[in-house]
Amino acid sequence: MSEKKISYEAARDELAEVVQSLEDGSATLEESLKLWERGEELAKICQEWLDGAKKKLDSAKPGAK
């Protein structure tokens, strides 16, 4: 059920929400575990986005045509 095509901003914002919910502590144990899993997934997506972008920029350095 995880959408790999989610935009960077959407993933990052959802991650912030997940962390917020977990810190509230109001979720059930089961929900908390699910939230944490989702958080991990989102963090991974964000990291992939950032790493990919960095790679593109580095390879487009002037002189590296």
Partner 1 sequence: MFETSSESPAPVRVVTEAIKEYVDRLGPIWVEGEISELNERSGMMAFIRLRDPSVDMSLSVMCHKSVIAAIQPLPANARVVMYAKPSWYTKNGSLTLSAREIRQVGVGELLARLEALKTLLASEGLFDSDRKVSLPLLPKKIGLICGRNTDAEKDVVENAKRRWPSVEFEIREVTVQGAAAVSEVSDALRELEALEDVEVIIITRGGGSFEDLLPFSDESLVRLAASCKTPIVSAIGHEKDSPLLDLVADFRASTPTDAAKRVVPDIAEEIEMISKLQDRARRTLLGRLDLEATRIKNLRDRPVMKDPHVIITSRSEIIVALKDRAHRSFAAHVKLAKEELVQIKARVRALSPQATLDRGYSVVQLANGDIARDASKLKNGDVLRLRLAKGETNATVSPKHDAK
Q: Give the residue from 27, 1, 8 showing the smallest Cα distance to 42.
A: 8
Rounded to a whole number of angstroms, the minimum distance from the CB of residue 53 to partner 1 is: 6
Binding residue for partner 1, selected from 8, 10, 26, 64, defined by CB under 8 A? 8
Contact 11, 42 (CB under 8 A): yes
Contact 58, 24 (CB under 8 A): no
6 is a contact residue toward partner 1 (CB under 8 A): no
Residues that bind partner 1 (CB under 8 A): 8, 12, 15-16, 19, 22-23, 25, 29, 32-33, 36, 39-40, 43, 46-47, 50, 53-54, 57, 60-62
